[in-house]
Amino acid sequence: MPLSPSSRAVVLLSGGLDSYTAAALVKQDGVDLYALTVHYGQVHAQEIDAARRVARTLGVVVHRELAVDLASFGGSALTGHGTVPKGQPLDDDQSTGGIPATYVPGRNTVLLALALSWAEAIGVHNLVIGVNALDYSGYPDCRPEYIAAFERLALLATRVGIEGQPIRICAPLVDMTKAEIIRKGCLLGLDYGLTHSCYDPRLKGAPCGRCDSCQLRAKGFAEAGVVDPLLVR
């Protein structure tokens, strides 16, 4: 999923370490970033604050924030419907496990559709998303076949696609482990202390350390041989 020959990209920026790293990888190639962060009804605002910090650090051209109330549909512990699972062992092959309670129905499809709309409106032909299909929580909308299918949709559903100037979906981390992502980010000099990963943070935003996202983050830093800066503050 290479970038189209363009110097601009719309990046979905969540405030997590994956979207931060994906954006930085694209930026190092001289691409100007237009960041989009979506308030989709997540219970905790820490990741929105993290996205703002990351956007400032990356020096994005524009940082847009949109609100879409997916919480009103229910169906996810991240939007306040159910309890965030904690302390469960991570599957050796998470792609074969069940889809967890933290899956938000249709989230990446909604987010990519919003990014696609903005990109076409401003003449940008690249979308960047930090999904990862190796060390992830079993979400179906993080897989390479999903990204390929959405890129096909973008070709069919947009004027620029029909006119022969398709919008590409770039997922530079999709085949990387969490440890590989962290090592790459460290080589780029990224400050992961700016990011937020926890699904159910404690008071003042401290990570719980027990949800799937915290465990995946801890596993990644341990395997990368790097100390997580969030744990030393």
The answer as to whether 1 is a domain residue is no
Digit-coded pLDDT (tens) for 62-97: 999 999 999 999 999 999 999 999 987 766 444 445
- Domain harbouring 170, CATH code: 3.40.50.620
The answer as to whether 3 is a domain residue is no
Question: Residue 226 in contact with residue 219, Cβ under 8 Å?
Answer: no
The answer as to whether 2 is a domain residue is no
The answer as to whether 70 is a domain residue is yes
The answer as to whether 100 is a domain residue is yes
Digit-coded pLDDT (tens) for 96-146: 457 889 999 999 999 999 999 999 999 999 999 999 987 766 789 999 999
Domain carrying residue 173: 8-231
Q: Put residue 31 in one of left, alpha, beta given phi > 0 → left and psi -120 to 50 → alpha.
A: beta
Separation CA 152–CA 66 (nearest Å): 25
Tokens of 131: 């999904």
| Tally of domains within the chain | 1
Rg from Cα positions in the chain: 17
